[in-house]
Structures are given as C-alpha cells and as structure tokens.
Amino acid sequence: MPLHPTIVERLARARGDLRMGVPVVLTGDGQAVAFVAVEELSADRLAALRALGPLELALTARRAETLKTPAYDGDIARIAVPSDGDTRWLRALADPADDLRVPMKGPLRSLRDGAATLHRAALQLVKSAQLLPAALLVQIPHGLALAEANGLTLLPLHEITPELARMSPLHGVVNARLPMQAAQAGRLHIFRPEDGGAEHYAIEIGKPDRSAPVLARLHSACFTGDVLGSLKCDCGPQLRAALAQMGSEGAGVLLYLNQEGRGIGLANKMRAYSLQDQGFDTVEANHRLGFEDDERDFRIGAGILRQMGFSAVRLLTNNPRKLAMMESCGLTVTERVPLQVGQTAQNAGYLATKAAKSGHLL
C-alpha cells in the first residue's frame, strides 16, 4: 500500500478538520471551494476565507424553511453572506437556539444561479461530523493550489460521492465473555468501521442457533436514557427489557449502535431538547436544527448480524423502518416482537409523536 492516505482516510481527516474549525477543499463539476463548519468557525478563519472571495452559507432546506428563506436547490439553500456578516450572524442562522427570541434574522438573499453540487457535499460532510448542518463556502480558482499551499485536505467530488453513499465495512475487533444481570452467558463483541467512525457493539446472549431466527434488538445509543435514566424517552427500559427477554429465552443478540440522538449526536440531541422545552416536538426540533427526522443508517445493524452468521431475526421493535431495512438488506424478519415498556408522564408526548409522525406501532 502506498504511504499517502486513501480517499476513505482523507474523508476521516476532513471530518476531524471540520470539528476543529479547519477548512476543507472540495473540487468537482468544474469548480473548487474551500469550506468550514459554521459551528466551529473562528473570527480569524472567517477573515481569511473572506479574503479569498464572496462567501456563501449553505443550509439544509429544513433549516431554510424555519428561516423563511427560499431553497432554490431543492434540499439545500445557498445564502449570500453580506460583507458585515460576522460569526454571530452566521451562527444565528445555523443554530435555532435563539429563533424564538430573535425571529427576524434577515433580510436574507438566497442564491439561485450556479451549481449547488459542492454545497450539497459540504453539508453532507458537516452532518457526518455531527455538527450543525451549516457550511460556509468560498469559491476558489484552484483547489489543489490552495490545499497544497495551506496543508488543507483536498477532496475530489467523484472520489467521495461513492464513499459517502456506501456503508463502511466493519471488522470484528475482539469479543469476550461478559456475565450480566440479565444473563450469565453474555459475550460482548466490538465492531470497528473502516472509515474511522464510531465503533458499534453486539451483545450475544447464550449461543443462538445460526440456522434459526434469532431474537434480536437494534438499539441506538441514548446516553440520557440508557445511562442517566431520563424520563423523556423509553430507551433505558427498552434496553433492559430486551436483554431480560433474551436472558429468559436463553438466546438473543442485542446490537448497541452508536448512533446517539437518531444519528445527530449528543450535542445536537441536547439542542433538540432545548427546542422541545420551547414547545416543539421531537420531529419539529430535528427539522428546525436542519436535520431529517431520523439520520440513522440501519444498514449497519443488518451488516453486523450477517457478519455474525445470522440470516433471520425475530426483531424486538415498534419501528416499521427497522423491519423494512432488515428485509432490504437481505435479512428475513420472521416476527416483530413488540417492545412497549417505560411509558412515563414525561414521555407520553414523545411516544405519541413517534406514533403519529414516524409510523411507530403502538
């Protein structure tokens, strides 16, 4: 293998750069841009980018809708940044925290002309770095020259597009015996993705027969519910009930997928919780932040199950999307096993919204 990093490795670097406020260079469609995530933008970097040319802010159409500004590119909006637009101005557009207190952010000028392909890719990268979906871009004449002169990560669009669409292969790193309250015969497996992303875990209980449907649960990380016992959701009780059922049946597999906050990360989930305290429901809060309702990639769970030798599941869930995704990834769902535990006065609204807007089965 050559010494220079592959495109997958450069993508991982780029995510790290964005989380540190370092610009990344994107080329493609006959254009080149340098961009940063607004969330981590410093005044110095803003000044350095402004010196390169007119600045554009890319937001998702979800966020643009809240800001009441048109998204001429369908799923995204490009907004011209005025010469006095500073980091506070940009952050107020990216972050809905102060929307109710300061509803008027404009006037905003949405751009209509020109291509949005690089803006779209920039936003996708910012999202995959679990930052607020807002990118500040500047068009540059020569991507390679700017990247080389400043030691920036350069990403050609045609190389990253297939990588962003595919699920990164996962490798089993280690597994070891783990006796638990719910089952003495437990084993924890660690899976690591090739793209430098979060590791995921499989908790195998007993010795499930690989030739029969296995009792399985795809659990998404919820620090607040799983660890802190939050009353705002039903995750903690669901986690424990699933393990208990597997323990009492003597076999099962629970995947603990590190897709906190339905894939938006804990910081963004807490932003969503602040919005929920302002009266928005769980879906509206995600939209106001600029995310879709659910940003999780359920292919990961199916991939791990197949890697462990399972081809059919009895799936513990109330979420029809999980059932559909299993089937589309080639796993047979022989039964949906409902998992209704942990209802509280505080999460009644949350569960009702999931049933009404996300199709959860009651």
Give binding residues as ranges.
217-222, 233, 235, 238, 260-262, 282, 317, 322
Measured from the CB atom, is 160 or 313 closer to ligand GTP?
A: 313
Contact 276, 285 (CB under 8 A): yes
Which of 225, 237, 247, 265 is the binder for Zn ion (CB under 5 A)? Answer: 225
Closer to Zn ion at the Cβ: 225 or 290? 225
Residue 69 contact among ligand GTP, Zn ion, none, beta carbon within 5 to 8 Å by kind: none
Collect all residues with Cβ–Cβ distance below 8 Å to 79 and sequence separation of at least 6. 56, 57, 58, 59, 64, 69, 93, 108, 109, 110, 111
Is residue 351 involved in binding ligand GTP (CB under 6 A)?
Answer: no
- Among residues 272, 275, 302, 313, which is the contact residue for ligand GTP, using CB under 6 A? 272
Query: How many beta carbons lie within 10 A of that of residue 54, not counting itself?
Result: 13
The Cα–Cα gap between 308 and 68 comes to 48
Would you put residue 78 in left (φ > 0), alpha (ψ -120 to 50) or beta?
beta
Question: Taking CB within 5 to 8 Å according to partner kind, which of ligand GTP, Zn ion, none is near residue 130?
Answer: none
Mask for 217-236, x = binds ligand GTP (CB under 6 A): --xxxx----------x-x-
Using rule CB under 6 A, residue 153 touches ligand GTP = no
Considering beta carbons, is residue 195 or 234 the nearer one to ligand GTP?
A: 234
Torsion over CA of 160, 20, 23 and 272, rounded to 10 degrees? 70
Nearer to ligand GTP, 153 or 220 (CB): 220
* Residue 294 bears catalytic tag: yes
Alpha-carbon distance of 57 to 69, in angstroms, equals 12
Of 26 and 235, which CB lies nearer to ligand GTP in the complex structure?
A: 235
Phi first, then psi: what are they for 233, rounded to 5°? -140, 180
The partner in contact with residue 319, picked from ligand GTP, Zn ion, none with C-beta cut-offs of 5 to 8 angstroms by kind, is ligand GTP
Query: Interior CA angle at 106 toward 100 and 108, to 5°?
Result: 130
Could you say which of 17, 234, 281, 294 is catalytic? 294
- HSE, side-chain direction, 13 A CA sphere, residue 34: 29
How many Cβ atoms are within 10 Å of 165's Cβ, its own excluded? 8
Q: Of 145-153, 217-225, 251-259, 350-358, which part binds Zn ion (CB under 5 A)?
A: 217-225
Given 15, 120, 271, 296, which residue is catalytic?
Answer: 296
> Which secondary structure element, helix H or strand E, spans residue 57, and what is its range?
strand 55-60
153 binds, among ligand GTP, Zn ion, none (CB under 5 to 8 A by kind): none
- Does the footprint of ligand GTP cover residue 325 (CB under 6 A)? no
Q: How many CA atoms lie within 13 A of 359 on its CB side?
A: 8
Q: At what angle do helices 282-289 and 266-277 cross, to 10 degrees?
A: 120
Query: What is the token pair recorded at 71?
Result: 């998204």
29 is catalytic: no
Does 78 bind ligand GTP (CB under 6 A)? Our answer is no
Q: Give the three-state DSSP class for 131.
A: coil
User: Which segments are annotated as binding site for Zn(2+)?
Assistant: 222, 233, 235
- Selected from 15, 189, 269, 271, the binder of ligand GTP by CB under 6 A is 269
Instruction: Enumerate the active-site residues.
Output: 294, 296
Interface with ligand GTP (CB under 6 A): 219-222, 233, 235, 238, 259-262, 264, 269, 272, 282, 286, 317-319, 322, 354, 360
